[in-house]
Amino acid sequence: MFMVSINPDKCAGCGSCVDPCPAKILGMVDDKAEVTGDAAECMGCETCIEICPSGAFTIMEL
């Protein structure tokens, strides 16, 4: 499985990562992206890494 994490210090709050996530587990909370869904659903597709202009995402394979 994959574990996605988002560095809130890097997130610029653009919201661009939310809709493209195929697992629909990303959301905006107080203008920062967070994993608002079931983190275990992350597919490790790295779409969020490719989209994020701030390099806020890290994906680890467990």
Tokens 């597919």 found at = 43
Minimum CB separation of residue 23 from ligand SF4 in Å reads 4
37 is a contact residue toward ligand SF4 (CB under 6 A): no
- Report the site for ligand SF4 in 6-35 (rule: CB under 6 A): 6, 11-17, 21-23, 25-26, 33
Length of the chain in residues, anyone?
62
d(CA 6, CA 57): 5
Of 48, 53, 49, 56, residue with least CA distance to 32: 56
> What does the binding site for ligand SF4 look like in residue numbers (CB under 6 A)?
4, 6, 11-17, 21-23, 25-26, 33, 42-48, 51-54, 56, 59
